[in-house]
């Protein structure tokens, strides 16, 4: 049975650095399940690990698509399955890391996602509709026809809302009903990073401040100049829309930063719905100086049984 370690936790909890440290100890390889890391153009505002941070550890599913290209959960599933198989075939342990609940659950629960071929006419009609009423109102329309799908899709993620509506219109069935589960054949070990909420919020604030210092505003300005305004609205990564509003003169920089902080906190609370403290499938570890050693020891213990 193929091995698969999964590392979950809220945003800014230290998943990236912890996973890299574990991989160095085990000779493991890392697969990203952070939906923001897939896009080549998104760098500073996603806290994507740098080449220096990744070091010699192989990383997969980072910078694998563009804002101009089609990418969805079904594509991710196909790619991640191939990567897990390849890493195991070389006697290595894959570590799937992320805070995007759906991408993690799609792997751990064996979701079978329909690969519905996009219909350009229907897609364009929904996009035009979305541009008229906005992402939040579009999400409310999805909630009317498919409440379960809407519950699992962030209202800011217009791309996924559009995709769900497109599949519904093409098939005549609810998007949520088409997601089936298949038996999972992995020897799964799920580890979670826990951190006091006050400490986590302080880390989030510090990260946002550092992003601004690192040139986040300039990054968004460049993306807008390259014609990616519609894509940023459709994908909906936290921070990019708020900085866009600042650059458009709608709000001040201080207000933009406050909004980013507020939305990130809301995102953390939604992540907790995917990765619950009482989930028996997750072994939680408090984030401290010994967290890497404790996790490595636990992985050794699990796979030596």
Q: How far is the CA of 93 from the CAs of 84, 158, 192, 268, in angstroms?
A: 8, 35, 17, 28
Residue with tokens 């207000």: 255
pTM: 0.82
Residue 237 scores a pLDDT above 90: no
Looking at residue 46, its pLDDT comes to 94
Residues 6+ apart with CB under 8 A from 260: 208, 238, 239, 242, 243
Looking at residue 179, its pLDDT comes to 64
Residue 49 scores a pLDDT above 90: yes
How far apart, in whole angstroms, are the C-alpha atoms of residue 34 and residue 103? 8
Domains of the chain: residue spans and CATH: 2-113+181-304 (3.40.50.300), 120-178 (1.10.20.140)
User: Strand, coil or helix: what is 95?
Assistant: strand
pLDDT tens readout for residues 165-224: 988 888 777 887 766 667 788 999 999 999 999 999 999 999 999 999 999 999 999 999
- Structure tokens, 281: 């499938």
Residue 116 scores a pLDDT above 70: no
DSSP state of 11: T
Residue 24 scores a pLDDT above 90: yes
Confidence of residue 154 (pLDDT cuts 50, 70, 90): confident
Q: Phi-psi category of 134—alpha, beta or left, where left has phi over 0 and alpha has psi -120 to 50?
A: left
Residue 77 scores a pLDDT above 80: yes
């Amino acid at each position: 049975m193929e091995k698969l370690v999964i590392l979950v936790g809220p945003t800014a909890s230290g998943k990236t650095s912890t996973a890299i440290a574990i991989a160095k100890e085990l000779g493991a390889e890392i697969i990203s399940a952070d939906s923001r890391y897939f896009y080549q153009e998104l760098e500073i505002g996603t806290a994507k690990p740098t080449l220096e941070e990744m070091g010699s550890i192989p990383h997969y599913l980072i910078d694998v698509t563009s804002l101009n290209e089609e990418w969805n959960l079904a594509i991710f599933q196909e790619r991640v399955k191939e990567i897990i198989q390849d890493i195991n075939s070389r006697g290595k342990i894959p570590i799937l890391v992320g805070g995007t609940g759906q991408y993690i659950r799609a792997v751990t629960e064996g979701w079978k996602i329909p690969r519905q071929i996009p219909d350009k006419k229907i897609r364009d009609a929904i996009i035009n509709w979305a541009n008229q009423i906005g992402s939040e109102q579009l999400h409310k329309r999805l909630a009317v026809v498919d409440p379960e799908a809407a519950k699992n899709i962030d209202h800011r993620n217009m791309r996924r809302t559009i995709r769900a509506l497109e599949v519904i219109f093409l098939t005549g069935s609810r998007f949520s009903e088409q997601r089936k589960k298949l038996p999972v054949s992995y020897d799964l070990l799920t580890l979670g990073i826990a951190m006091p909420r006050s400490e986590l919020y302080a880390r989030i604030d510090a990260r946002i401040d550092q992003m601004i210092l690192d040139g986040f505003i300039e990054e968004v300005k460049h993306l807008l100049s390259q014609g990616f305004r519609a894509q940023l609205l459709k994908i909906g990564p936290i921070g990019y829309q708020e900085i866009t509003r600042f650059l458009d003169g709608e709000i001040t920089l201080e207000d933009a930063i406050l909004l980013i902080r507020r939305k990130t906190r809301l995102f953390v609370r939604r992540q907790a719905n995917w990765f619950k403290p009482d989930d028996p499938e997750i072994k939680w570890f408090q984030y401290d100086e010994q967290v890497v050693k404790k996790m490595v020891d636990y992985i050794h213990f699990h796979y030596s049984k």
